Structure formats: C-alpha cells, structure tokens
Amino acid sequence: MIARGLRLPKAGTETFFLWGPRQTGKSTLLRAAYPQALWIDLLKSDEFRRYMERPELLRQEVAAMPVPPLVVIDEVQKVPLLLDEVHWLHENRGMQFALCGSSARKVKRGQANLLGGRAIRYQLLGLTSAELGNDWDLVRMLNHGYLPRIHLSDRPEHLLKSYVADYLKEEIAAEGLVRKLPVFSHFLDVAALSDCEPVNFSTIARDCGVSSQSIKGYFDVLTDTLLGVWLPSYRRRPKRRVLASPKFYFSDVGVVNFLARRGQKEPGSELFGKAFENWVRHELAAYNEYAQRNASLSYWRLTTGAEVDFVVNDMEVAVEAKATRRVTSDHLKGLRQLKADHPKVRRRIVVSLEDKPLLTPDKIDVMPAAEFSCRLWGGELF
C-alpha cells in the first residue's frame, strides 16, 4: 500500500468529513487508519435501503452497543438525513464519526445537516510525486493520471473508460444531478478541451446545444462531485486590465486524456505541456491541503496576453509550468511582466524539464520537475 500524504486524526479525537474524487483511495485510507471502527457502507444496497427508509436506525443500533472508538459512514452523501442522527449522537453520546463521500452536491442542495461546523473537513486527492517516491515517473503520471488503481495499471485506458461510465451512471444518473444524461456526457468531452483554460460558457453551450446557464450548472456538477476545480484570477490592485474569468482544471489528468482522446503524450508535444500544467496545479493543491497551509491559489493574466500560471497567496510565490528541456527568455516573459506590475512578488519559479536547476540574473528559479517536487514537499516554497 502506498503511504498517503494526508494525515488523519487519531480514532475518537475528532468528527470529520473526508471528501475526495471517486477512487482516490478514501475507503482504503480509512480502513488502514481505523481498523477497529464500526463501518457503515452505503454502497451496499441493503444498508443503503435500510438507512434511506429509516435513518433513525443508526441512533437505535448504536445505542444498543458499547460506544465504538469511531464510526465510519462511507458515501454519506447517499443518505443525507443520516447527518441529523450523527449530529445527535455526537452531541448527546460524545461519539466521533468519519463521514466519507465523493460528492457534496446532494448534501448541499438538500440543505443537509453539516453538523454546525463541528466536523473538520479533510480532502484526499490523487497520487502525488512525494507519495510515489522513487517510483514516481512524470511521463507515466501525465499519461495514466493520479488515481491509484489507474495510475498503477498497465492498461489505464480501459479503467478510465469504466471510471467515466461509472461516474455518469452512479454519480450523475443515480443521484439525478442532471436531466439530460446524453447532453451531459457530450459536455464532458467538450469541457475536457478547456482543461487549464479560462472557460467560455457561450462557446461550450453552442457546441452542446444548450443554454449558457445549463453549462454553468454542468460545471457546478463537476466541482460538487470533485471531478474538477476552478482557479480564480488574481485581481488585487492591478495596474492594468487583467482577465476576470476563472480557469477550470479537472482533478485527474488521466480523465482529461480519456475524454479529450489525447492518446500517448511524450515530452515536446503541446498536449504534454497541457498535462504538465495540470500536474503542477495538482501538486500545489495537494501540498496546500495535506500540509494545511490554507494558501490561496490563483492565476494572473493581462488582457494583452502576458500570463503566469499560478500565484500563491498575495504574490508570495509565482509559478509558471513550462514542459521544455530548454527554458528561454520567451518562457520568462510572463514572470517578468508580473514583477513589473507587482514588484513585491517574493519568489518566481519556472517548473520545467531542464536537467539541472538554474537561477537567472533577475532571480527567477528554473527548476526541473523533480527538484520542484522535492522543494515543494520539503516546505521550502510556501
């Protein structure tokens, strides 16, 4: 088993939500961390039916047994009413729960009890370079993606096809999240082409034959089911006009590859560069989550075209992803323009495929991908 970077609390010390995309390994992590926990798996049809029909059974059944160190409810979003029972047991019997799920949409839309802020929130993402250690291979990661089972497979395309089909069937259709499943399925293919880019809702709406409002709702489904995230534009004290539209990133680059029919990607190609940018965001987000840095992530782009892929906090660090073996002055234009507009930026970094780290005369760090990973997870960047 791969040691994951997310550190969960000791059994019996906290009630918490553990969210994460499908197949990131949430259940595996919980079973390893809490072998003595009482486990309620709502993926089992019999348990799902019992608690859906009578959520009070949770309170009654637990009352009839010694208080366990922790109760795990897997796929809790399937029966949101259970959260009322969890709240009562937590308040009146001092019980601690691990509430695991891959979609907060049904919980939020149903105005379910989120325990009044009493539950801490954790998120498990896909595999990172630090978790893979010596087994990390950048080309494999950009082709297979970050989901553990798929990343380790020698035939990822078959598993990715099943992953997308199960997502449509179990997350979207079964939960009734959209009205027209074929349209949403086509939307996924089109949205994958917008990975790492500001989204034009009108263009995607024309391609899918629905309204822009429907497309915005579809993107909400992707974020609520944790299949993707928005990256906002950095807009603090701009000296010139900056783009206001957020970028969209899929949580797993393997899913993007499958939906966009990218095929095998090798260094030097444009598609490899797009996947490389997705990976850099993934590593930044995972480190931010697991190290509990609570940093804000954004991107910066002028209407004239100058751009920097990632800005950490209020110009603490600026990061540009360039999947090239030779970083030139052209690759540094965005970071240099950023410095001109925001002189306070503390550190500027280019993550690249260079063999060795470099420092330009104007103090821009050029890092190989492995060096970036080492410094990031070593806590040296932010």
> Does 1 map to a domain?
no
> Tens digits of per-residue pLDDT, 102-154?
887 766 655 455 665 667 899 999 999 999 999 999 999 999 999 999 999 99
Burial label for 117, CB within 10 Å (0-12, 13-18, 19+), is: exposed
Please tell me whether residues 92 and 135 are part of one structural domain.
Answer: no
Please tell me whether residues 112 and 164 are part of one structural domain.
Answer: no
Element (H, E) at 334: helix 333-341
> Does 150 map to a domain?
yes
Q: Could you say which of 72, 98, 123 is where a domain stops?
A: 123
> Does 80 map to a domain?
yes
pLDDT recorded at residue 357: 97
pLDDT recorded at residue 52: 95
C-alpha–C-alpha distance, residues 258 and 262, integer Å? 7
Q: Is 306 helix (H, G, I), strand (E, B) or coil?
A: coil
Bridge-based pairing state of the strands 97-101 and 71-74: parallel
Domain of 223, in residue numbers? 129-377
pTM of the model: 0.94
> Does 172 map to a domain?
yes
Please tell me whether residues 73 and 154 are part of one structural domain.
Answer: no
> Does 11 map to a domain?
no
Please tell me whether residues 274 and 346 are part of one structural domain.
Answer: yes
> Does 2 map to a domain?
no
> Tens digits of per-residue pLDDT, 344-370?
999 999 999 999 999 999 999 999 999
The answer to whether the CB of 352 falls within 8 A of the CB of 267 is: no
Query: In the sheet where 307-312 sits, what is the strand order?
Result: 297-301, 307-312, 317-321, 347-352, 364-368, 358-359
Q: Strand pairing partners for 97?
A: 71
* Residue 336: how many other CB atoms lie within 10 Å: 15
Eight-class DSSP state of 76: G
Domains contained in the chain, number:
2
Residues of the chain with pLDDT under 50: 111
3-class secondary structure per residue, 105-166? HHHHHCCCCCHHHCCEEEECCCCCHHHHHHHCCHHHHHHHCCCHHHHHCCCHHHHHHHHHHH
Please tell me whether residues 170 and 304 are part of one structural domain.
Answer: yes
> Does 262 map to a domain?
yes
Please tell me whether residues 372 and 231 are part of one structural domain.
Answer: yes
C-alpha–C-alpha distance, residues 338 and 334, integer Å? 6
Please tell me whether residues 85 and 116 are part of one structural domain.
Answer: yes
Q: Could you say which of 101, 123, 145 is where a domain stops?
A: 123
The CATH number for 75's domain is 3.40.50.300
Query: In the sheet where 120-123 sits, what is the strand order?
Result: 38-41, 71-74, 97-101, 16-19, 120-123
Please tell me whether residues 155 and 79 are part of one structural domain.
Answer: no
Main-chain phi, psi angles of 56, to 5 degrees? -65, -15
pLDDT recorded at residue 111: 47
> Tens digits of per-residue pLDDT, 224-235?
999 999 999 998
Please tell me whether residues 55 and 165 are part of one structural domain.
Answer: no
Give the total residue count for the chain. 382
Please tell me whether residues 21 and 115 are part of one structural domain.
Answer: yes
Please tell me whether residues 98 and 151 are part of one structural domain.
Answer: no
Q: Could you say which of 93, 123, 153 is where a domain stops?
A: 123
Please tell me whether residues 193 and 146 are part of one structural domain.
Answer: yes
